[in-house]
Amino acid sequence: MDTFESLVRAEFTPKNTFLNTASNGLLPARTTAALDRAVRMRAEGISLVPLYDEVEAVRASVARLAGVPVRQVAAGTSVAEFGALIAAALPAGAEVLTAEADFASLVNPFHMRGDLKVRAVPLERLAESVRAETELVAVSVVQSADGRLADLTAVREAARARGARVYVDASQSIGWLPIDPDSYDFLAAVGFKWLLGPHGAAFFVVPEDLGALTPLLAGWVAGEAPWDSCYGPVEELAHSARRFDISPALFTHAGLRASLDLIEELGVAAVHAHDVALADRFRTGLHALGHTPLAAPGSAIVSVPGLGGHQPRLSAAGIEVSDRAGNLRAAFHLYNTPADVDRLLSTLST
């Protein structure tokens, strides 16, 4: 019987200490093989139609991870495009509540409308800041800059009490942090970080009623019968969230399907326990070195003020982390080990 460790070691052979999953994840061996097969189909003139089945397999896997029926999942390329659909559906003057300094792809579409009232508050005050005029709360489940977790239970309760909906960006959480489907109305995320897929795929989860959104980006794939919707206006939109699909990056979805298979095989609960244990080991080691990371309990991302300038030196030593506004950001995922943590701490101590 395969163990967590044996499954992971069979898939990853990094040549350095990679602690930067918050920027992009490593590709498993099965994913690079799937990409190679898909590219060869194109090179050899083989029909790519079977690759659309990979899109549907990704949709089904994401539905399982998000805890929703598959009909509520749309496939696209970026978080921003889906946020724009929500922004376009809001009435003029509507208030959108966001966390201060949240990721641009989440918040920017609401600012681009020009006639919405976008209000930003500290993350820890998000729930208490929902008011009667708030139409939407938009927040990242895990903050990209420092790994802090939003209190989605409190946010959802406050939003429900005032008739607002909740839109979350799960790009920095899905794949390692279990998702409560009752904690959001809309969810978007990219597939190239913690889900370990290639760049170019994102997904969007909508409510059962499809959220009263207009599929402004709809092309032929948004039809109930896509292959009968290639010419002229689409006569019948898909009866599911597929009406919000963007023409898919087929090679990317072929790779992402393989990556999602691995995530599901390992289990998000096991990945969560592994990742957070490593992050906590790093936090403990930092305190021993006299450094205080930003408080983000339960997160797989650790941000350390004042150490961002070490990033070039660490990279030269074969340790990949990020510099975010002067903070060193390390992100721990399933392919990392205690030895990776100790190597980073040792290098920081010199």
- pLDDT, tens digit (0-9, with 9 covering 90-100), for 230-286: 999 999 999 999 999 999 999 999 999 999 999 999 999 999 999 999 999 999 999
CA distances from 266 to 3, 45, 142, 255, 263 (A): 9, 35, 21, 17, 5
CA distances from 237 to 82, 125, 302 (A): 17, 40, 44
The whole-number average pLDDT for the span 28-37 is 98
pLDDT tens digits, residue range 307-340?
999 999 999 999 999 999 899 999 999 999 999 9
**Banded model confidence at residue 214, pLDDT cuts 50, 70, 90:** very high
Residue 75 to residue 73: CA distance in whole angstroms: 7
* Percentage of residues of the chain with pLDDT beyond 70: 100
Return the closest-CA partner of residue 293 out of 308, 279, 283: 283
- Record the pTM: 0.97
Say which CATH superfamily domain 4-27+267-348 falls into.
Answer: Aspartate Aminotransferase, domain 1 (3.90.1150.10)
pLDDT tens digits, residue range 164-207?
999 999 999 999 999 999 999 999 999 999 999 999 999 999 99
Residue 127 pLDDT greater than 90, yes or no = yes
Q: What six digits make up the tokens of 117? A: 């009232």
Residue 58 pLDDT greater than 70, yes or no = yes
Does the domain at 42-265 match CATH 3.30.450.20? Answer given as: no
What is the chain's Cα-based Rg?
21
Start-end of CATH 3.90.1150.10 domains in the chain: 4-27+267-348
SS3 172: coil
pLDDT tens digits, residue range 137-163?
999 999 999 999 999 999 999 999 999
Phi, psi angles (nearest 5°) of residue 96? -115, 120
Start-end of CATH 3.40.640.10 domains in the chain: 42-265
Contact 258, 31 (CB under 8 A): yes
Query: 249: which residues sit within 8 A by CB, 6+ positions away?
Result: 77, 200, 201
